Amino acid sequence: MAGKEASVVRIHEIYIKAAATAIWEAITSPEWNGRYGYRAQAEFDLRSGGKYAAKANEGMKKFGLPDVIIDGEILEARPPNKLVQTWRWLFNENQKKEGFSTLTYEIVDTGQGFCRLTVTHDQTHQPTMAAATISKFDVKNGGGGWNWILSDLKSLLETGKTMS
pLDDT along the chain (164 residues), means of 10: 69 97 98 95 98 96 94 98 96 91 98 97 89 68 79 97 90
Residue 67 forms part of a structural domain: yes
Answer whether 145's CB lies under 8 Å from 37's CB: no
The answer as to whether 126 is a domain residue is: yes
Question: By residue range, what is the domain housing residue 87?
Answer: 9-158
Q: Is residue 1 part of a domain?
A: no
Query: In the chain, how many domains are there?
Result: 1
* Residue at 15: amino acid letter: Y
How many residues appear in the chain? 164
Residue 4 lies in a domain: no
